[in-house]
Amino acid sequence: MDWEVIFRNAILAGISREAAVYAIAAVGLNVHFGYTGLLNFGQVGFMSISAYGVGISITQYGAPVWLAFIIGLLAAVFLALLLGVPTLRLRADYLAIVTIAASEIIRLTFRSVALTDWSGGSNGINGFADGFYVWNPFDPSVAYGFGSVKVFGNQAYIIIVGWTLAVLVTLLVWLLMRSPWGRVLKSIREDEDAARALGKNAYWYKMQSLILGGVLGGLAGIVLSVGQSTVQPDVYSPPVTFFIWTALILGGVGRIWSPIFGAVAFWMILSLANNVLDQATQAGIVPAAVTAGVRGGSIRFMIVGLGLMLLMAFRPQGVFGDRNEMMLADR
Amino acid sequence: MTTTDHPGRIPTDGIEAVPGSSKPDPILEVDTMVRQFGGLRAVDVEHLEIQRHWITALIGPNGAGKTTFFNLLTGFDTPNEGAVEFNGEAMPRRISPNKLARQGMVRTFQLTKSLTRLPVIENMKLGVKEQRGERFLPALIKPLWNEQEESIEERADKLLVRFKMDHMRDEFAGTLSGGQRKLLEMARSLMTDPELVMLDEPTAGVNPALTQSLLQHVTGLRDEGMTIIFVEHDMDVVHEIADWVVVMAEGKIIAEGTPDAISKNEAVVDAYLGSHHDSDLTFDDEGDVIRGDEGQPVHDEPDVVHDDEREVAHDDERDVAHDHRADDAHNEDGATT
Amino acid sequence: MNTMTADRGASKWSWRHRLLLLLLLTVTLGSLQIPAMAQDEGPELGFQGTFTNPEGEDGPTPVEGVRVEVTDADGAVVGEAVSDAEGAWTVEVTDTGEYTVTVDVESFPDDASLRNPDEPSRTLTVNPGQVRPVLFPIGEGPGPGADSGFDLRLVLQLFVEGIKLGLLIAMMAIGLSLVFGTTQLVNFAHGELISIGAVIAYFFNVTIGMHLILAAILAIIATAGASALMDLGIFRPLRKRGVGLIAQLVITIGLSLFLRYGLLYVFRGDPRSYGNYNIQRGIEIGPIVLPPKDIWSVLISIIVLVGVGLVLQRTKIGRAMRAVSDNRDLAESSGIDVQRVILIVWAVGGGLAAFGGILWGLGESVSWIMGFRLLLPIFAGVILGGIGTAYGALVGSLVVGVFIQMSTLVIPSELKNAAAMVALILILVVRPQGILGRSERVG
């Protein structure tokens, strides 16, 4: 077992663009669930609709990069309105069901044969991200980093952009949550009827929250698609939402920095598990059949599922949360 | 009872003690309000006027429709028909609670709705209407709302002192006892500068010592010029603070009058005796109903909707009961379940 | 999401094939990367595509040797390609712009043809940095009568298939509604009970070699047991500890993920069929054609649904279930063992989910993801009918089933489930309480 490789990969995973993407999306989910109590089980739908918004507006309509980004984020606003209008007056479970359904609809629609000319079917859209790499200060052929932890120029660029955005949106949410606006959101999380009895338009605040968190999800999707230089429908499949949920809960729901901690921790743990399993298989400690083919991949989903259950049951406050505060939540 | 009467408070003499009697200066007027659940008329009020600056008690046996009526008045439920005038202004049949609250009608809940994971002081500050920092963009820039926030905090602190809760200022509201939560909810509702305060069983489950201070606060509010309606089971409490009593049974208003007159009213006595054996209002006994320890209901505290449900369930109308359940679930924990 | 029901067209296999390939890619790509982000080392500008015959002898098969020609706007041939053993082809072009891609219809092998032979070419634009995917559906040509626009026979056929699907959805939805009714918990792992039932039946039927009927009975019992174990091992302790409903809901999501990929681990990705009743000749009933297994499926679902209705109405345990749903505290105080009732609800719901899963697997195929795919239509049916109304769930499920099938008249079959979801959202706007729900539940 090569522990150096295992740990190097874990560190790379922790700082990877995927971790940054998850952090941004988890900030959005934190606005939804952590501060407002909204159950969004379709965050990946927001990611995908924005990524496609960017991809399609560049490849189909030749939009400049900045405009494409705005269109992408507006697509997330649109989705939030579409999902919020019918459901935010109803019990929270309705939003949960409708969001998970919507994320699947979006995936199926974008990958559909009927729309191939527009959204590229199951192959998705390629080659729209060039305009973004124009500003890349790094040399794509040079590896940057410390010691053996190195990434190539384009990666370094997207990692820096991704994490900068993650920190910026975290600060944005921090500004909002210390304000009376954030107080209304939290009051809705605790008891919507109490907020309404005090004259707060809970519906409208929930809508604002859904839009804000959705736009952050959209931003995450854009970063991911630009980083991959492609947007493919099946990258944005339902389990991604639950990965992000796990990252958020790992960090601690309803806390400012937890999405970032959670995303880093999530990817490091996943990488450790994967690499240890790989190495163990290679070293013959684990029989090859255990991880052969589709099995190796499914193990990681199982780990996430199990982790999500155990976290929620035994440490719902996450690694950094306050157990006492969590215990007060009487629902 | 009180020494510093508000000048607008008129005596009860000369007001006719009949259901739907007219009052000289009503803050709230209700006309033909009907709420049906399936085949059951949970609320069927022909006419009711609530006199300004009075404390009006709303009493009645279990299942009389008191809480449903409260919900209808405060916009938490929509009547099948009926009109409400508040301060002489007609309210639309379908109106959201927040709109009514902004017009000066604030309510508390039978099952207290304290915001458990917010500190007491934040609970209080939430009550203030029209805060600049509650809008999305200004919220980002602290100087725009900081000054207002400080004055709100000052006011909240004063109220907390008055309610003797200043020592709990920074505790999470979830750590308070049931009685303290009732107090907090009342104090918080005052932060909205209400004209009409509607309290749903303010003393249910509150220990006797705290009940006394709570009642003093209620009369204090009246003396400051507010109008109060409260749902109550305990006749002693009604006698102690109410100026006027409205009695409901089976959704209808069956009597109105002063506390003294009401306790001698035969229709009222009949209504109570004729209702379920588990009626918890008695005229001879203490009549206190303490639910759970220190006001913490052990289970779902049976509220009026539940009671309706029992009646209906007895009648084997399962479908109706089912809907109540759903309705109930929505009202109580629906927002987040 | 085409797995819903008997597809009439050819797309049934093609999407599944593609999905599976992607999923395989997804999960085997392994380590650190978000699924399927491997990038082609191919050309920078051009066209690419894959010819797959969804109706090949052994499921979807690549079509080799098909010639593709690309001409520019002036009609000059700029490139051509022949599909390889995987059915894939690529044509590189040197510049962006508009091109016409034409398939040589003559070059198809005997067992495959363009689904629409009248449209062998596409005119498409290549954008900067783009390798444009081009899709030519392959399969039988349009059948007789397809030109007539409105085909009454097809409408009837789809309607009946929709009823069949709706009845299955209703049967599988019972567990979800009952668990929700008694505990207020929305169980996102319910779909996995469906898959587990179908997979266990497959194990007994194909791996061990029992007759399907026996295998089904054992699978239903086993799934009911597994479902009861979920309550006993996970949710009852959570209730006891006072864990909130939302936390429990997130736990059902984790459980669903764990079970689903656990199934992928043991069952692998490819859809499989049971060993009995596999190939049946359709029986003509008036204008429609149904294989006997579909007729049985309809009959069995009706019997099960009526049976459940009778149990709920007439038996002691049924009354107890309704009492717990109506008012848990009241039920408890009147001497009903609420925890036991909830346990039975889980077991019965799991058994019915398994039953539905087996019937569905019989009509379609058994796969690890089938339950998750079915979960959304089930939710749609339950919500459409109005949560908490027993007959509403039945009506809602039937509406969803018929809607899903009939929608293929106007939209591509691959989008029919998406259409059902869109309809669900629309109905929530207009009538949030569902078709049969009463208005007062919405605040």
- As a three-state string, the secondary structure of chain A is CCHHHHHHHHHHHHHCHHHHHHHHHHHHHHHHHHHHCCCCCCHHHHHHHHHHHHHHHHHCCCCCHHHHHHHHHHHHHHHHHHHHHHHCCCCHHHHHHHHHHHHHHHHHHHCCHHHHHHHCHHHCEECCCHHHHCCCCCCCCCEEEECCEEEEHHHHHHHHHHHHHHHHHHHHHHHHHCCHHHHHHHHHHHCHHHHHHCCCCHHHHHHHHHHHHHHHHHHHHHHHHHHHCEECHHHHCHHHHHHHHHHHHHHCCCCCCHHHHHHHHHHHHHHHHHHHHHHHHHCCCCCHHHHCCHHHHHHHHHHHHHHHHHHHHHCCCCCCCCHHHHHHCCC
Partner-chain residue, chosen from B310, B323, B337, that has the shortest CB–CB distance to C438 = B323
Same structural domain, B50 and B82: yes
Residue contact C19–A120, C-beta within 8 A: no
pLDDT score of B54: 92
Whole-angstrom CA distances from C20 to A108, A126, B86 are: 14, 21, 63
Residue contact C438–B325, C-beta within 8 A: no
Partner-chain residue, chosen from A127, A293, A331, that has the shortest CB–CB distance to C244 = A331
Distance from CA of C9 to the nearest CA of B (A): 42
More confidently predicted of C209 and B300: C209
Partner-chain residue, chosen from C250, C262, C417, that has the shortest CB–CB distance to A302 = C262
Instruction: Give the residue from C265, C266, C268, C383 with the most A CB atoms within 10 Å of its CB, the best one to mutate.
Output: C265
- Is position C368 within any domain? yes
- Chain A CB within 8 Å of residue B172 CB: yes
Instruction: Give the residue from A36, A191, A215, A324 with the most B CB atoms within 10 Å of its CB, the best one to mutate.
Output: A191
C166-203 pLDDT, tens digit per residue, is 999 999 998 898 898 888 888 999 999 999 999 999 99
- Chain A CB within 8 Å of residue C37 CB: yes
pLDDT confidence band for C43 (50 / 70 / 90): low
Whole-angstrom CA distances from C6 to A299, B326, C159, C354, C408 are: 32, 36, 12, 19, 12
Task: Give the total number of structural domains in chain C.
Answer: 1
With a CB cutoff of 8 Å and minimum separation 6, the contacts of C220 are C197, C351, C354, C355, C358
- Is position C99 within any domain? no
User: What are the tokens at B75?
Assistant: 């916009």
Distance from CA of B167 to the nearest CA of A (A): 19
Average predicted confidence (pLDDT) for chain B: 79
pLDDT score of C136: 78
Considering A137-141, B111-115, B159-163, B230-234, the range whose residues carry the highest mean pLDDT is B159-163
Q: How many contacts, defined by CB atoms under 8 Å, are there between B and C?
A: 56
Neighbours of chain C (3+ CB pairs under 8 A): A, B
Same structural domain, B73 and B207: yes
d(CA A85, CA A104) in angstroms, rounded, equals: 19
Task: Give the total number of structural domains in chain A.
Answer: 1
pLDDT confidence band for C26 (50 / 70 / 90): very low
Partner-chain residue, chosen from B318, B330, B337, that has the shortest CB–CB distance to C322 = B318
- CA–centroid distance for C172 within its chain: 13
User: What are the tokens at B100?
Assistant: 């009514």
pLDDT score of C44: 67
Residue contact C245–B333, C-beta within 8 A: yes
Give the residue numbers spanning the domain of C430. Answer: 155-438
pLDDT confidence band for C339 (50 / 70 / 90): very high
- Chain A CB within 8 Å of residue C88 CB: no
- Chain B CB within 8 Å of residue C387 CB: yes
Task: Give the total number of structural domains in chain B.
Answer: 2
- Is position C79 within any domain? no
Same structural domain, B274 and B134: no
Same structural domain, B162 and B46: no
Enumerate the residues of chain C whose CB falls inside 8 A of the CB of residue A300. 27
More confidently predicted of A32 and C387: A32
Neighbours of chain B (3+ CB pairs under 8 A): A, C
Partner-chain residue, chosen from B107, B118, B330, that has the shortest CB–CB distance to A190 = B118
Give the residue numbers spanning the domain of B48. Answer: 1-114+193-317
- Is position A82 within any domain? yes
Residue contact A92–B136, C-beta within 8 A: no
- pLDDT (average), residues C158-169: 93
More confidently predicted of B274 and C402: C402
Residue C14 has pLDDT above 70, yes or no: no
Which of the residue ranges A55-59, C276-280, C394-398 would you say has the lowest mean pLDDT? C276-280
Same structural domain, B146 and B205: no
On whether the CB atoms of residues C103 and C121 are closer than 8 A, the answer is yes
Same structural domain, B133 and B197: no
- Is position B329 within any domain? no
- CA–centroid distance for B195 within its chain: 14
- Is position C23 within any domain? no
Which of the residue ranges A227-231, C204-208, C210-214, C284-288 would you say has the lowest mean pLDDT? C284-288
- Is position A254 within any domain? no
Which residues 77-136 of B have a C-beta within 8 angstroms of A? 96-99, 101-102, 106-109, 113-118, 122, 125-127, 129, 131-136
Enumerate the residues of chain C whose CB falls inside 8 A of the CB of residue B331. 443
pLDDT score of B304: 35
DSSP designation for B14: T
Which residues 197-256 of B have a C-beta within 8 angstroms of C? none
Which of C87, C98, C99, C184 has the alpha carbon at shortest distance from C138?
A: C87
Which residue in B has a C-alpha nearest to residue A33's C-alpha?
A: B336
- Is position B187 within any domain? no
Residue contact B335–A92, C-beta within 8 A: yes
Which residues 212-241 of B have a C-beta within 8 angstroms of A? none
Same structural domain, B211 and B303: yes
- Is position C285 within any domain? yes
- Chain A CB within 8 Å of residue C19 CB: yes
Residue contact A313–C243, C-beta within 8 A: yes
On whether the CB atoms of residues C169 and C401 are closer than 8 A, the answer is yes
pLDDT score of A320: 66
- B148 sits in which H/E element: helix B142-162
- Chain B CB within 8 Å of residue C319 CB: no
φ, ψ for residue B107, nearest 5 deg: -135, 160
Residue B278 has pLDDT above 60, yes or no: no
- Chain C CB within 8 Å of residue A131 CB: no
- C385 sits in which H/E element: helix C370-385
CATH number at residue C425: 1.10.3470
Interhelix angle B304-314/B318-329, nearest 10 degrees: 160
Residue C30 has pLDDT above 50, yes or no: no
pLDDT confidence band for A180 (50 / 70 / 90): very high
pLDDT confidence band for C66 (50 / 70 / 90): confident
pLDDT score of A35: 95
- Is position B333 within any domain? no
- Chain C CB within 8 Å of residue B296 CB: no
- Is position B230 within any domain? yes
Interhelix angle A258-282/A3-15, nearest 10 degrees: 150
d(CA B286, CA B290) in angstroms, rounded, equals: 11
Which of B74, B79, B84, B85 has the alpha carbon at shortest distance from B110?
A: B74
Which residue in A has a C-alpha nearest to residue B106's C-alpha?
A: A197
Residue B313 has pLDDT above 60, yes or no: no
- Is position B14 within any domain? yes
- Is position C43 within any domain? no
- Is position A314 within any domain? no
- pLDDT (average), residues C2-27: 38
- Chain C CB within 8 Å of residue A13 CB: yes
- Is position C205 within any domain? yes
- Is position C18 within any domain? no
Which residues 233-262 of C have a C-beta within 8 angstroms of A? 234, 238, 243-247, 249-251, 253-262
d(CA B179, CA B204) in angstroms, rounded, equals: 9
On whether the CB atoms of residues A144 and A138 are closer than 8 A, the answer is yes
Whole-angstrom CA distances from A80 to A33, A98, B210, C384 are: 14, 11, 46, 21
Same structural domain, B125 and B218: no
Q: What percent of chain A has a predicted confidence (pLDDT) above 70?
A: 96
Give the residue numbers spanning the domain of A94. Answer: 3-237
